[in-house]
Amino acid sequence: MNRHLPFLSALFIFTTSVCIEAQSQPVGSAMMPEFRRQALVLDINARALENKEVIWNDSHQKITIPGTPVGIRLVGSNIIVAVQFTPFIRRSGSVLVAQGQIWIKDSEKGVSYYTSIQTIPMEFNEPIYFFPLGTSPQLNSSIEIKLTVNPYKETFVIENDK
159 belongs to a structural domain: no
The 3-state DSSP class for residue 124 equals coil
The ranges of the chain with pLDDT < 50 are: 1-18, 22-36, 156, 161-162
71 belongs to a structural domain: yes
pLDDT of residue 137: 66
Q: Count the domains in the chain.
A: 1
> What's the pTM?
0.70
160 belongs to a structural domain: no
pLDDT tens profile 68-98 = 999 999 888 888 999 999 999 988 889 999 9
Question: Are 99 and 81 a contacting pair, CB within 8 Å?
Answer: no
- Domain containing 121 equals 2-151
Question: Are 143 and 131 a contacting pair, CB within 8 Å?
Answer: yes
pLDDT of residue 34: 38
90 belongs to a structural domain: yes
